[in-house]
Structure formats: structure tokens, C-alpha cells
């Protein structure tokens, strides 16, 4: 992205919306066609890349737009209304960007931030569908002379089809969890679009096969301490997509009602758009779209505060890094993490109800496959199944009752107690 596009002053919300809304509108125009033929929106992702969307959080001194997280999530909600799959596809990219922002005072952080500003997109290959023991991976990283070789199979590789680089979670020779970064076109790396979920079908969440993929030492990132609030951004990205999905469902259903002329004898008006009960349904789901947006942005505001405070403490003079200063930052991080948990339990419930309720306005006509209104509920249900809300609700309750802070390092796999005898476990 050309630095000539970067203003001296931070861009306002309106300036960012003016910049990206036309692209979102172009993306939305093809939504029904993509759903019909299951076309992965690679071209549309290129429009975003070329506009600098992937670098929106990169500081201006490194070539980005320097937006706040709240500004980013405002745009993600609008992108979610246009194409929720692209929000999910970029989820790990923005998480990776945040991780590098946390270390923007280092050579590595600055290197990657500049690379992202130049248009690089980072995808994900972390989860393994079966066989791995919880807390470790079956994917391996083995020394091979001056380099390393990466071998294994990943699933749920969200965003990989859109990415220039893949962030691979792997266990090294010492049994430690590390991240290996490889180009998506590296020899031995194969991406398969075989995701079989009934929603978010073009998020690029299929299989990644790694066969002796060469990794340079500088492209291995060791396990980093996870601060409270660091995982909140990942969850809030899903919630931003959900809020956008509800907005799209409302807008498309309202347009359907405006065109509709058939009405029921037991109805309250000759035209559905004039029926008070139909108006009530539309009004209620429109309120959900508004409320979910405000809930997400409120939680993101807490995340902004925690992120800024953590970096300020990192770069402050050593004598000012007192236990009291650390405690103050951790308090903000805990608030951000709990805010994401609370937002998740609320937004999911509202979004699922709203995307089902829109069908009340049109009878069987609303089920016509050409409308694809069902995709909104399917996409919402799919996103809602990530990081099950039942565990978030229990975590909130445990904190309220007992002061127990949320677990910041979730992992999925076979429980260690059920693993085969002798299986080596990574450090938790």
C-alpha cells in the first residue's frame, strides 16, 4: 500500500467508511450468486487487499492506516453484512497483526507490520480434526541442518485460501508449542477447499497438508505469554460477523416485504408492508441488528483500552513498571476478556433468534431458494458454534461467584488422561 495514501492526522470513522463502503457494496452485490454456486470470494478479497484493508491497524509510521480496534470492528460489522465469510477468513490475520503490534518496538514486530502494510495476508492452520492430545499437535517441526521441516495435516484452516502466509501451530523437537510461518505457495504445502459445514461455506476453513515444508529459523515464533484480553479479539471478530449477518437479514427481508403483494385473510392490511404485525417483526429484528453492533463495539472499546495500556507499560521506563502498574493493566485486560465473554453469550442468542424470526413475515414465500434467506441463520449458527457459549457462561458465573479468572489458553483434542500410554505431551 502506498504511503502517499496516509494522512498526517488519524482517519475519522467517516473517512474510513467513505473509503471502504463502496468496496463492501461491490462485495454484497455478488452475495447471492456466490451462495448459489459456492464460489470462494477470492477476487473480492483482492479488492480488500488492494484497498489497504488488511493493514488498517498497522501504525502509519509502518505504512498502514493506524485505525483503532473500535474503528476496525465498525468496518468488520459492515463487511459482515456484505460477506460474513470474509470477516471469518481475516480473523487470524487481524489476530496476527495485533500480536505484532504488541511487539512493535522490536525488529520482528516492525518487519511484519511493514510486510502487512505492503499487502501480505496471514491465514491459519492450527486445529487438527482428530488424534492430537489436548495441549499438543501431531504436526511436527524438526531440525534439518540450518532450517526446519514441517510435516502434518490441519483442518479448519480458516482464511488459508486467501492468504500469502500461513501461521501453523506445531510442536517442536522439545515438545514446545510454537508458530511456524510459511508461504501459502511453499513447496510441499497443499490447501484443500473441503470444509463441510452447512454455514460459512466459503471461509477457506478446509484442510492444509504439510509435507517437508521448509521453515527458516527467523520464521518460528516461540510460545508467548497470553495476556488477559488477547483472545477477546478473536471472539469479538465472530461477533462482529454475527452483527453484520443480522443487519443483512433485516435489510433483505425488508426488501422482500416491500415487494410482496400477497397477504393473508387473517392479516391486518392488504399489503404486508402495512400490516402492523409484520412491521413489528421487522422492527424487532432491526433493533437486534442495532443492539448487537453496540454490544460488540462496547466490548471492543474495553479491548482498545487494555491493548493501549499493555503497550504503554511495555515501553515505559523500568522504574515505572511497578507491581501497581502491572495490576492496573491486568485489571483492564480482565475486563476486556470478561466483556468478550458477556458479549458472546448475549449476541449469539439475539442473532440466532433474529435470523430465524425474519421468516415470520412471508409464509412459505420467504422459503424460496432464490432468496437464500436461510444462509443468514446457517452462517450465524456456524459462527456461534465456535468456542461454545456454554463454557463462556460457566466461566462468567465462576468469576462472579468465586473470583476465578477465565482460562486464557484453550485447546482442543483428546484429554491427556485418555491418550495412549507413553504419548509425549507438550508443556501446557
For residues 118 and 261, the answer to whether their CB atoms sit within 8 Å is no
The tens digit of pLDDT for each residue in 267-326 reads 676 777 888 999 999 999 999 999 999 999 999 999 999 999 999 999 999 999 999 999
Using only C-alpha atoms, what is the Rg of the chain? 23
- Our separate counts of H helices and E strands in the chain read 12, 8
* Region(s) of the chain under CATH 1.20.140.10: 230-402
DSSP-based three-state secondary structure for 40? coil
What pTM does this model have? Answer: 0.92
- The fold for domain 140-221 equals Butyryl-CoA Dehydrogenase, subunit A; domain 2 (2.40.110)
* Distance, CA of 413 to CA of 130 (rounded, Å): 7
Percent of the chain with pLDDT over 70: 92
Q: Based on the number of CB atoms within 10 Å of its own CB, is 332 exposed (0-12), middle (13-18) or buried (19 or more)?
A: buried
* Distance, CA of 133 to CA of 137 (rounded, Å): 7
Residue where the block lists cell 479491548: 303
The tens digit of pLDDT for each residue in 50-92 reads 999 999 999 999 999 999 999 999 999 999 999 999 999 999 9
* Region(s) of the chain under CATH 2.40.110.10: 140-221
The tens digit of pLDDT for each residue in 322-355 reads 999 999 999 999 999 999 999 999 999 999 999 9
* Region(s) of the chain under CATH 1.10.540.10: 13-120
Q: What is the CATH number of domain 230-402?
A: 1.20.140.10
* Distance, CA of 31 to CA of 114 (rounded, Å): 32
The β-bridge partners of 148 are: 143, 215
The tens digit of pLDDT for each residue in 346-394 reads 999 999 999 999 999 987 888 888 888 999 999 999 999 988 899 999 9
Choose the CATH number for 13-120 among 2.60.260.20, 3.20.20.190, 3.20.170.30, 1.10.540.10: 1.10.540.10
pLDDT band of residue 2 (cuts 50, 70, 90) is very low
Q: Based on the number of CB atoms within 10 Å of its own CB, is 387 exposed (0-12), middle (13-18) or buried (19 or more)?
A: middle
Amino acid at each position: 500500500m502506498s504511503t502517499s495514501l496516509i494522512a498526517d492526522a488519524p482517519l475519522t470513522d467517516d473517512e474510513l467508511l467513505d473509503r471502504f463502503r463502496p468496496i463492501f457494496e461491490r462485495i454484497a452485490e455478488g452475495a447471492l450468486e456466490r451462495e448459489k454456486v459456492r464460489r470462494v470470494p477470492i477476487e473480492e478479497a483482492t479488492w480488500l487487499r488492494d484497498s489497504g484493508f488488511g493493514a488498517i491497524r498497522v501504525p502509519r509510521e509502518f505504512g498502514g492506516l493506524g485505525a483503532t480496534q473500535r474503528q476496525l470492528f465498525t468496518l468488520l460489522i459492515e463487511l459482515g453484512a456484505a460477506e460474513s465469510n470474509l470477516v471469518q477468513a481475516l480473523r487470524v490475520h487481524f489476530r496476527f497483526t495485533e500480536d505484532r503490534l504488541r511487539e512493535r518496538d522490536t525488529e520482528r514486530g516492525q518487519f511484519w507490520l511493514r510486510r502487512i502494510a505492503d499487502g501480505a495476508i496471514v491465514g491459519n492452520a492450527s486445529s487438527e480434526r482428530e488424534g492430537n492430545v489436548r495441549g499438543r499437535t501431531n504436526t511436527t517441526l524438526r531440525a534439518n541442518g540450518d532450517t526446519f521441516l514441517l510435516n502434518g495435516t490441519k483442518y479448519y484452516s480458516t482464511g488459508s485460501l486467501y492468504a500469502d502466509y500461513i501461521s501453523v501451530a506445531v510442536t517442536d523437537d522439545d515438545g514446545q508449542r510454537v508458530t511456524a510461518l510459511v508461504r501459502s505457495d511453499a513447496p510441499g504445502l497443499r490447501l484443500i477447499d473441503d470444509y463441510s459445514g452447512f454455514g460459512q461455506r466459503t471461509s477457506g476453513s478446509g484442510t492444509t497438508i504439510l509435507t517437508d515444508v521448509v521453515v527458516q529459523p527467523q520464521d518460528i515464533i516461540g510460545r508467548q505469554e497470553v495476556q488477559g484480553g488477547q483472545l477477546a479479539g478473536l471472539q469479538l471478530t465472530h461477533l462482529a460477523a454475527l452483527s453484520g449477518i443480522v443487519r443483512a437479514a433485516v435489510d433483505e427481508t425488508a426488501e422482500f416485504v416491500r415487494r410482496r403483494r400477497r397477504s393473508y385473510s387473517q392479516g391486518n392490511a392488504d399489503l404486508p408492508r402495512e400490516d402492523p404485525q409484520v412491521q413489528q417483526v421487522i422492527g424487532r429484528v432491526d433493533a437486534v441488528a442495532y443492539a448487537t453492533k453496540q454490544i460488540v463495539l462496547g466490548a471492543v472499546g474495553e479491548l482498545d483500552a487494555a491493548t493501549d495500556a499493555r503497550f504503554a507499560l511495555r515501553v515505559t521506563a523500568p522504574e515505572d513498571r511497578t507491581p501497581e502498574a502491572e495490576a492496573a493493566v491486568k485489571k483492564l485486560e480482565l475486563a476486556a476478556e470478561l466483556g468478550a465473554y458477556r458479549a458472546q453469550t448475549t449476541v449469539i442468542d439475539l442473532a440466532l433468534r433474529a435470523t430465524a424470526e425474519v421468516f415470520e413475515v412471508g409464509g412459505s414465500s420467504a422459503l424460496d431458494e432464490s432468496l437464500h434467506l436461510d444462509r443468514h441463520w446457517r452462517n450465524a449458527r456456524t459462527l456461534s458454534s465456535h468456542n461454545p457459549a456454554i463454557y463462556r457462561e460457566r466461566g462468567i458465573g465462576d468469576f462472579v461467584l468465586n473470583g476465578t479468572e477465565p482460562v486464557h489458553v484453550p485447546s482442543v483434542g483428546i484429554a491427556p488422561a485418555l491418550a495412549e500410554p507413553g504419548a509425549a505431551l507438550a508443556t501446557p
